[in-house]
């Protein structure tokens, strides 16, 4: 199926396909990583810029 889709598009640039696959992989990986973090870790990191240095 994928071979047919890639052959049907003329002048397909393999660099564009690679960059799209890389982007989707990184995006999904970071989304999964964020969704699996604990709530207290997210709260700590979100309040970190607001804390004063001692």
Q: Which pLDDT value is given to residue 51?
A: 75
Q: What local confidence, expressed as pLDDT, does residue 49 receive?
A: 83
From the number of C-beta atoms within 10 Å of its C-beta (0-12, 13-18, 19+), residue 35 rates as: exposed
pLDDT score, position 9: 63
pLDDT at 25: 98
Q: Determine the Cα angle at 30 with ends 25 and 26, to 5°.
A: 25
Contact 6, 12 (CB under 8 A): yes
pLDDT at site 16: 83
Give me the tens of pLDDT residue by residue for the chain, a chain 54 residues long. Answer: 667 766 666 666 777 888 899 999 999 999 999 899 999 988 888 888 887 776
Q: Tokens standing for 40? A: 């207290």
CA–CA distance, 45 with 21 (Å, rounded to integer): 29
End-to-end CA separation in angstroms for the chain: 60
């Amino acid at each position: 199926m994928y071979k047919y889709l890639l052959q049907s598009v003329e002048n397909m640039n393999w660099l564009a396909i690679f960059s799209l696959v890389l982007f989707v992989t990184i995006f999904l990986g970071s989304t999964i990583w964020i969704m699996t973090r604990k709530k207290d870790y997210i709260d700590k990191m979100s309040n970190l810029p607001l804390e004063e240095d001692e």
